[in-house]
Structure 1
């Protein structure tokens, strides 16, 4: 019996667990960003941190992220094996990964200055020095990222979803506590050299401390479940190890190619003052709902995709692919409508206080609008990538990712000239659209036909619903400001609440006309949660 087959949980049950845990983690993350914004605004500390965090953050997302290649590879393999085989397999993979990433950690410490210069040649000298300092502190995250990713995959394959989904909040908590103490200690004495130096240390040190806590929590859970410990194993002939590496290697390269696009974006905006910090703040607002919803969709679907990989199950696999894509559309498109129509009020409500002023809000809001446009394509691409992983094919996403790098560089070059920082986000959206088209065409051929025309027409109908929802939301917001204004927190909150509700109602009313089974599934789950 496989590790996951012992579970009787439904997809909806798993999604609920993941959603609640991720929601808690994201709320704490939002509090973290609010405190960081209040303490440092879009100034040099956060701008430096945005670049210092590129490589550690890249590895944390790439290797340690839920739905990342380590997670996907372990779930894909362990889902098909007996639980008794899990511990030696996991310990062997952990030994190999730790040895490799320890070397990476040392390289980051020694060559921190070189990496920052490659990442951001346009940084001012003071910001550059802060970024180098922060990168050296955060270097151990490289090794911890691999261990966290292994823990994610192992625990999910054993039907444990709560701890992996909630554990990212450890990093947020450590930063919140550190920055909170800093603000409490300095009072009104902001903008001093000592303040910025201590703040830089707290951001970097809190990131490392959080990663350590996240790994330790997962390790304890693994050990108690009999899924591996800190034991070193060097026997690569253990059954399943090569299967994991076969998926993990190309999947890591593929996801790594995607993260290279992030580096490319930051390279081009390094010459724009405050742009990196502004992108960080806008991106986090978008990633809060995307992170919750992506975990709801991708985490429970990946084992299902894997179990339907055999040709005799392809009809059911097509149904599940459709389910993943339309659940993505039904959750992302109304959020796109909200971010397009209410970007500035949202930024003001979340961030505008203390060091984060109106000028910073005006810098972040256009980025939030453009990020909102790409939400469906970002998550839809991830759904399709997981189908390829489930089919044992990590090579196709890798090849597409290589093409994406060149496409992203070209688009960044031209779009930054025309649209400044929002141009790099437009380039990312274009790359994700290109990826989805390629993936769907390949799956259409490989799975002997997908109803792409039917799916496409329905999706266009939902896009139309999103456009109308955005216009309706903007109208409510505009009218509210003309009548009551929004010059205090409560009025601004009320404006956003009414305008957001209007967008959701308009979208749902139009979407209901399509009689989508995915909408029935989504609404039934929401009703069940409300009744509870």
Structure 2
């Protein structure tokens, strides 16, 4: 069974809306990170904040993120129910989630010291004290994250994609404003020890206020659509709630296990000077294009996977799985080539100003290379997890994620002393690669054989092209650097643009020779959006 033309256009339109909104949100996020880097560099304030944000960020990404378990489970159930049934169901879910997360918020406030000690045993002195107070301020994000996640899923089920995808910019705006107000207040002394505490409180308070504004923006849109409001509803036996929890509970644990790997990395990073800050800066650069492209792929594909789960539609489902994997490769691998070849240039252009100096760039650049190498594996793993969710199976991703916790901890221990901060990132890449292998083996048995060998050959060809493109880009950048070498930001941007354009050009010219159907699909979608 193929999707009709109307559905194809819908897929393209949704992808375009999500991409546009996510791009705007990420641009504001870039301004936020540049402001933080200019103010604090790779130093004590940002290191403390990186650890204080671990637990609130865990909930915000896990529960409040697009494509998270709340988002996926609500779309799966609400899209199949009558409109009159949605508001009571959403309000019942909201009430249940509020009770549970309010308890967790109180625990975070009372035991902030314990959490920081567990997460960062290498953190000492005033930096640790700042991290503890930051965690107490940001603890309510645990509650807000669940409410934001419910808003994401509810609004997407109502075909509202713009506001949920763009709403994270509220946090970026508030934090940026707070940082620049602090710079104005303290002058050139913002990174002096006497201002560490004030800087830490500005970051924590801005993060909490931004999350609150994001939820309120979604809530008013949700209320206008008749999809539920602030009303408490204790109807926990309402039809549909069991269907949501059947997907939500194992999906939450599975996603939680994945994020625990991140915090395992940070545990070992606490023993490496400035590692947490370097991981934060490098990870943001990678997450900017990864977030935009993953939303373009995962948001439209999730309902399509859900429509193709019966045996008579398995051939179409296999085609869509292949499309998800190869679209991930065609969008992620050229970016991998850019990050491998041009990491120092990218760090210099984005961050190197104010308190962020040359030595800071040297620390962050190899971490960016490591993160860039893992982009494709991260996205493919997410695509395959969505297939299991569509099949109504949240248990398999959970069991694989549970195994990955122990594997990631072992790999971190083996790699961090020899390879430093990049070693922690490469441990995560290996974990994602093993997860992909396990998921494909299970789906091969469940869907009556997948053409995995053909897929692997195609991906390996694209990987080879990636390294060729990266080499060409590095040579172009090397030649340009020897033609002119200047501290002028405009010339640095021009050099980065020419070098990265050569990488992207070589990648797509060579990949077109493979005659993959996904290249034509991607090209047609871009042409239609431009028209």
For the pair 1:187 / 2:187, whether they are aligned, the reply is yes
For the pair 1:96 / 2:59, whether they are aligned, the reply is no
| TM-aligned CA deviation for residue 523 of structure 1 | 1.7
Q: How far apart, in 2, do the equivalents of 1:186 and 1:101 lie? A: 37
Q: How far apart, in 2, do the equivalents of 1:353 and 1:88 lie? A: 51
Q: 1:154, 1:222 within 8 Å by CA — same for their partners in 2?
A: yes
Q: 1:486, 1:495 within 8 Å by CA — same for their partners in 2?
A: no
Q: How far apart, in 1, do the equivalents of 2:467 and 2:189 lie? A: 46
Q: How far apart, in 2, do the equivalents of 1:85 and 1:160 lie? A: 18
For the pair 1:444 / 2:448, whether they are aligned, the reply is no
Q: Which 10-residue stretch deviates more, 467-476 or 485-494?
A: 485-494
Q: What is the CA deviation profile of residues 21-68 of structure 1, one whole-angstrom value per residue up to 9, with x for unaligned ones?
A: 000000100110000000000111100000000000000000000000
Q: What is the CA deviation profile of residues 353-384 of structure 1, one whole-angstrom value per residue up to 9, with x for unaligned ones?
A: 11000000000000000101100000110000
Q: Secondary structure at the match of 2:263?
A: helix
Q: What is the CA deviation profile of residues 440-459 of structure 1, one whole-angstrom value per residue up to 9, with x for unaligned ones?
A: 11111101111111111111
For the pair 1:21 / 2:40, whether they are aligned, the reply is no
For the structure 1 residues 386 and 259, does the alpha-carbon distance in structure 2 shift closer, same or farther, using more than 3 Å as the test? same
Q: TM-score, normalised by structure 2?
A: 0.97
- Gaps (5+ residues) in structure 2? 1-5
Counterpart in the other structure of 2:178: 178
Counterpart in the other structure of 1:289: 289
Q: 1:7, 1:159 within 8 Å by CA — same for their partners in 2?
A: no
Counterpart in the other structure of 2:415: 415
Q: How far apart, in 1, do the equivalents of 2:101 and 2:494 lie? A: 48
For the pair 1:83 / 2:83, whether they are aligned, the reply is yes
Counterpart in the other structure of 2:348: 348
- Equivalences for 1:192-271 in 2 at 5 Å? 192-271=192-271
Q: 2:39, 2:191 within 8 Å by CA — same for their partners in 1?
A: no
For the pair 1:305 / 2:305, whether they are aligned, the reply is yes
| TM-aligned CA deviation for residue 188 of structure 1 | 2.0
| TM-aligned CA deviation for residue 194 of structure 1 | 4.3
Q: Secondary structure at the match of 2:188?
A: coil
Q: How many residues align?
A: 526
For the pair 1:146 / 2:149, whether they are aligned, the reply is no
Q: How far apart, in 2, do the equivalents of 1:189 and 1:219 lie? A: 40
Q: 2:182, 2:190 within 8 Å by CA — same for their partners in 1?
A: no
Counterpart in the other structure of 2:484: 484
| TM-aligned CA deviation for residue 7 of structure 1 | 8.8
Counterpart in the other structure of 1:358: 358
| TM-aligned CA deviation for residue 263 of structure 1 | 1.1
| TM-aligned CA deviation for residue 8 of structure 1 | 9.2
Q: 2:109, 2:135 within 8 Å by CA — same for their partners in 1?
A: yes
| TM-aligned CA deviation for residue 304 of structure 1 | 1.1
For the pair 1:426 / 2:430, whether they are aligned, the reply is no
Q: Which 10-residue stretch deviates more, 83-92 or 285-294?
A: 83-92
Q: Which 10-residue stretch deviates more, 469-478 or 517-526?
A: 517-526
Counterpart in the other structure of 1:73: 73
Q: TM-score, normalised by structure 1?
A: 0.97
Q: What is the CA deviation profile of residues 120-178 of structure 1, one whole-angstrom value per residue up to 9, with x for unaligned ones?
A: 00012111001001000000000000000011011111111000100011110100110
Q: How far apart, in 1, do the equivalents of 2:66 and 2:221 lie? A: 16
| TM-aligned CA deviation for residue 231 of structure 1 | 1.1
Q: 1:32, 1:172 within 8 Å by CA — same for their partners in 2?
A: yes
Q: 1:98, 1:143 within 8 Å by CA — same for their partners in 2?
A: yes
Q: 1:444, 1:450 within 8 Å by CA — same for their partners in 2?
A: yes
For the structure 1 residues 9 and 232, does the alpha-carbon distance in structure 2 shift closer, same or farther, using more than 3 Å as the test? farther
Q: How far apart, in 2, do the equivalents of 1:340 and 1:330 lie? A: 16
Q: 2:190, 2:199 within 8 Å by CA — same for their partners in 1?
A: no
Q: How far apart, in 2, do the equivalents of 1:478 and 1:181 lie? A: 39
Q: What is the CA deviation profile of residues 294-335 of structure 1, one whole-angstrom value per residue up to 9, with x for unaligned ones?
A: 000001111111121222221111111111111100000000
Counterpart in the other structure of 1:3: none
